[in-house]
A and B are shown apart, each in its own frame.
Chain A
Amino acid sequence: MAPNTCTSYLPPEIIENILLRSSVKPLLRFKSVSKSWNTLISDPIFVRNHHNQSKKSSSDNLFLCHDYYTLSYSNLYSVVKLEDRKLQTLQVFECSYRWEDYVCSCDGVILLATGCDTYRRFTLWNPSTRTRTELCHPRRRIEASYGLSRDPTTGDFKVVVVGWRDSYSVYSCNNKSWMIFNKEHETPPRTGPSSCYRSFPEVCVDGVSYWVWRNTSHIEKGIDNNSWNELMTVENVCMRIWNFQPLCFVEDKIVIQDRRRDKLLAYIPCEKRFEEFEGDAQPFDRVRLPIPYTESL
């Protein structure tokens, strides 16, 4: 390599390292660079590593919000960053669905209930790539809870529909099919994530879906590897269930939004107590339901 002449070209492993740090929009554009770039950017392992990288750099503080104050029934969604107790809008997306269609989200992909046959037809929407996938449940199930998770090894997205009593079904986006399972733990009758029309979104971490299930106290349940487990009881809850909105996991705490007071709380499972975030009453009072968000290919 002689000095002051043309740079020698970068080897593939360094190029890959650079592309892992690029955002989704230029990456999709660079699929046109060459066939090998297209193959690399489409590779499931690259997609997974890229998502892990973007999670690492966004450090859990991006949310997708519907700015319903500016335009009451607008289709605009903004990605906002929560930093130093301030909201900063990074990007605005347009979506043809209304906010009321939101069911749940995982890894930057959002599950929406669509069509007039609500809670039978679903759309998976990825705002970063502007792509969507349609799917349809064999039965219409309002009295159910919905979850979305991503298998950490295969990158497959799974939609989980949990009935209150008997069974639950899992849709695999890779196989494009539903599988029905029976719960090993019986859910006590008349309990559920919520008795209202719209069910509670779950929280997904490393391919496992977690719900807050309503009972005399609140029980967290999860689906891991297509099996259903009761995890723990959240104790010392002093708010009404519909104000209780789990958002994401930060370290070993569960971040919960108290919707009545527009407050963020963290539940510490090992100590069975809640702690409030300092002075964060302001950030979320403008928005209705912030969704944790990361870029995803």
Chain B
Amino acid sequence: MAAETGTPTTLTLKSNDDELFSVAESAAILSVTIRNMVEDGCAGGVIPLDNVDGKTLASVITYMNGISAIPADEEKKKSYRDKFLSDKDFETLADMVLAANYLNMSCLMDAVSAKIAQVMEKKSVGWVRRKFGIENDYTPEEEAAVKEEHKWTFEGVETDDDN
């Protein structure tokens, strides 16, 4: 690490669709995956991130820069995270949780997981099956029995025509 030079070190990250991004090392090491590469001295040149596409990586870098600019104040960091995630749809959040998992960024992982849980709060069973790619392996009778057992939890569920 070039700490003595006084100029901030910049890393170059490459997405799986060959987009290049420059990011300050101090922000990028929020990712434990990247920090390990830096510590092992293999962060010279371009760091390829094979599991993250350009659109998601751009978003993650925005988050890295935003959160690392905030001093150690958990309240402020939390409100930054809330604001950062507030307008994201399910697909974007799903890409982001996969990227956060791959990059080993636990604070982003937890925040995105909580946000997805919040998005799911009033969603129907059919919506969840579609979005998560879950096959319904119940027989119609079994499914009806499980639904009947927890009938009250189906009150106030959103209608199923949204995406």
Contacts and interface: CB of A to CB of B under 8 A. Distances in A.
User: Real complex partners, A and B?
Assistant: yes
Interface of A: 1-4, 7-10, 14-15, 17-23, 25-26, 28-38, 57, 130
B135 A31 contact: no
Which of A8, A29, A36, A37 has the largest number of chain B CB atoms within 10 A? A29
B143 A32 contact: yes
Given A17-B113, A29-B150, A7 B143 contact: no
A31 B150 contact: yes
B133 interface: yes
A14 B129 contact: no
Given A3-B53, A32-B146, A9 B123 contact: no
A130 to B, nearest CB: 6
B120 A22 contact: yes
Contacts of B16: 1
B97 interface: yes
A26 B157 CA distance: 9
Nearest to B95: A7
B55 A14 contact: no
B17 A34 contact: no
A31 B17 CA distance: 38
Contacts of B91: 7
B94 A33 contact: no
Given A17-B109, A34-B134, A57-B114, 5 more contacts: A3-B54, A10-B98, A17-B113, A22-B117, A34-B136
A33 B136 contact: yes
Given A3-B17, A17-B109, A28-B150, A34 B129 contact: yes
Given A21-B113, A30-B125, A35 B137 contact: yes
A20 to B, nearest CB: 8
A195 B51 CA distance: 67
Categorize the interface residue count of chain B: 35 or more
A34 B133 CA distance: 11
A38 B55 contact: no
18 contacts: A1-B16, A3-B17, A7-B95, A8-B98, A14-B97, A14-B113, A17-B113, A18-B117, A18-B120, A22-B117, A26-B122, A26-B123, A29-B150, A29-B153, A33-B129, A34-B135, A36-B134, A37-B134
A7 B99 CA distance: 12
A10 B97 contact: yes
B117 A19 contact: yes
Contact of B146 (A7, A22, A36, A38): A38
B129 A1 contact: no
A7 B137 CA distance: 22
B77 to A, nearest CB: 16
Contacts of A30: 120, 125, 128
A14 B138 contact: no
B133 A33 contact: no
Given A29-B150, A31-B146, A33-B134, A22 B121 contact: yes
Contact of A28 (B90, B109, B110, B153): B153
B55 A4 contact: yes
A8 B133 CA distance: 9
Given A18-B116, A32-B147, A37-B134, A26 B97 contact: no
Contact of A32 (B55, B113, B132, B138): B138
B105 to A, nearest CB: 13
Nearest to B56: A3
Contacts of B135: 34
A1 B153 contact: no
